[in-house]
Structure formats: C-alpha cells, structure tokens
Amino acid sequence: MVDHYDVIVAGGGSAGIAAAIGARRAGARVLLIERGPCLGGAATLRNVVTYCGLYTQDLKQVVFGVAEEMLAGLRELGAVTEPRKLMAVAVVFDPEAVKRVADELCERAGVDVLLHSHICAAAREGDRITGVQVTDHSGIHEYSADTFVDATGEADLAHLGGADVRYGNDGKVLNGTLSVRYGGIPADAPITRASLSAALRTAKAAGTPGLTGTTGLITRMPVSGDLVTYLADEEYDARSAADTSRAERSGRGQAQACLQVIRAMPGGASAYIVSTGPELGTRESRHVIGLSQLTEKELLEPGPTGDAVALGAWPMESHPGPGTPVEWIYLGEPGYYGIPLDVLCSRNTPNLFAAGRTVDGDRGAGASLRVMGTAFATGQAAGVAAAFTAGGADVETTVVRRELERQGAWLPD
C-alpha cells in the first residue's frame, strides 16, 4: 500500500527544512525526503558554513520564521557567530550543530523525515504530480501526496515529474566551489582574505600547479576556529555524475595546492586540511519555470513588498567561471527585495512549488535567490502554499502571508 501525505518535500537543505516545517504548521501531514545522511543541505553536506541573505548590508535582519529558529538553536549551542560583514553580511556556523538543530526543529514540528532516500522517479497524471519512487538499500518504495515542494537544488523532482524546467539561464550556470576547512592555524596568525589571495596570486604567477581561484570568501569558524575558504572554483554540469566527479577530484587537488601556500605564510606552518566539501558547492543547475520570473531589475530597484511571500537580502553574487573574479552587484534601497508567490509556482504543474535555488530567477536574480538564508524564506513560503493547496483552498498571497506571519516571518507592506 502506498503511503499518502498531504505534502511531500524533496530535499532536506535550508529550503526543504523550512518548507516541511511551514507546511506542517499550516496543518498538513508532511514527508521530507533527503538523499544524504543528515539534514542541512549545503550547510552540512558541502561545508558551506555561512548563512547568507538573512541580513541587509546595514545589519538589519529581514528573514525570520524558521531561519530565526535555526539561529536561536545554534546560539544556544554557542555554534554561530554574530553577523559578519564579509563582501556582504553573513553568519558563520558549526555544521555539526546545524545537523542537530535541524533534527530537533523537524521532530518538534511533527515532520516525517526520510534520510538516505533518493527520489528516482515521479508519477504524473494530467497536469499534476501524484507520487514519487524512492530508493534505499532495501529497494524501491512509493509515496503519494496532494502537493509537492522541490527543494532538491537540481530540480530533480520537477524534472522527473514532467514539470517545465530549464538549465541555468541562457544555457549558462554559475560555477561551483569546493569549500575547504584548514586547521592548525593559530587565531592570531595574519592569514586574512587579502593576504591569502595575494599569496595565491604570487604562487600562481610562479607556475605552482593546481591553483585556479585566488579570491573568495575566507573566514574563521566558531567552536573550532578553523579557517574556511571558498577558493577551489570548478565549472561542471551538476546533473552529470561523471562531470561532477571530475570537478570534485580537481577541487581536492586545488585544496592541497592551497595548503602548501598557506604553510609558507606566517603562522601557517602547521596547517592541515580538516575537510573538503565533501560535495562541491553547486550554485546553479535547473530552475522550475514559474508563473512569473524574478528579474535583476526588481533587485536593483526594489518595489513595495506587499505582494511578497519571502524576502531576499543578498547581493547578486555571480561566479562566471573558474579563476574569474566574482562579480558583485548590490541591491537597491532598502537593501532587500520581495519574492512574489507566482515565482514559486510551477507554470505547468499546479501542485508543485519551488524552493531554494530551484526558484525561477533570471541570471542576476538567480545569483541572489540561491543562497541559504533566502532559501529558508522561499522554502517556508512554498511549504505554506503547498499545505493550503493540499487542503483544497485557493492559494492567495494574502492568505499565505497571514500564515507566514503567524509562523514568525516578517513581511512588511
């Protein structure tokens, strides 16, 4: 017998966690399916230890709801920093703590969670997805639902379920980065973003093999004090296991090459690699084509947010290719923008909602929408909308906003 849910959420990263909790609190019976061994997504499986998009450049927090509950749980464990102004404002966290807090949040909300479960097929009847097939070590299992949220990053559910998707924008995607943690570096060592970038440029000019990126985010982690770097840039097709495997091998080679540079710097002699990835930090893959698309213009000239169900505050951070400097374009006043409900709704599958980096944005907007802080916001909104759709209600922006505000979101007019 097929187990039936009101809402199935595919993907257990920031967007999926928020979607599942948002849907459950809106009254739905929810199943959250994650292919990995833990929740957290990029935060725990890819060593991306910065929540970006929660704060504006002037340190104003604009994303609350489930995101704030995650921050509160991390604060209790002493596992998150105060907001730091890097190229933009982010908080840095310990990924082991994220795993635990995510477990607790989903358990308290009453979400059913399946880890180690890969969605391998989806059924469609007419214009709706009706169920999924999930594989684990015991075989293939089937689950059905009234509505679905795709928070997989690669829009795997939408693709398998026959929804309209596209790869990147204009056939191009932002390149990915392998995050690397380095230990053994004293807290007072003068290894900064500027000094490491300068040392990498010098080494690259001298012909040191294995170096591609020389600029990127570099910061210290809470708890361990490890240096975390986003420098090992790679260009690959995240849909392809073969191409991703190649890129990850190359990224690990870059991490070793960077280690030798760090060891030659003052205070870096005892440095070692704590961990790489373990997966590449993919920034862009498939998008679910929505009823409408968020555009770069709407980020440069933000309008009123009275019709928004989520807010974004991260600049347009574009990674055009390996070794190419990151392009930063900052948001217009007030430093955040609204994300309408139609952007999260599949244009040809009315019971499917997008969350996280699967959301429909053009090249500029997508370079901002993709980050984990914003993913909490789009995920919670998608989950609430999915719950109301499953219940047979008309999914109107005002109704979704009212429920999100009841759940602790901040959605100004």
pLDDT in tens, the chain (413 residues): 679 999 999 999 999 999 999 999 999 999 999 999 999 999 999 999 999 999 999 999 999 999 999 999 999 999 999 999 988 999 999 999 999 999 999 999 999 999 999 999 999 999 999 999 999 999 999 999 999 999 999 999 999 999 999 999 988 999 999 999 999 999 999 999 899 999 999 999 999 888 887 888 899 999 999 999 998 889 999 999 999 999 999 999 999 999 999 999 999 999 999 999 999 999 999 999 999 999 999 999 999 999 999 999 999 999 888 878 889 999 999 999 999 999 999 999 999 999 999 999 999 999 999 999 999 999 999 999 999 999 887 789 999 999 999 999 999 98
d(CA 359, CA 376): 12
Cβ atoms 347, 289 nearer than 8 A = yes
Backbone φ and ψ for 340, nearest 5 degrees, come out as -70, 160
Sign of the torsion angle spanned by Cα atoms 180, 248, 316, 366:
negative
Cβ atoms 22, 387 nearer than 8 A = yes
Backbone φ and ψ for 49, nearest 5 degrees, come out as -100, 30
Cβ atoms 345, 353 nearer than 8 A = yes
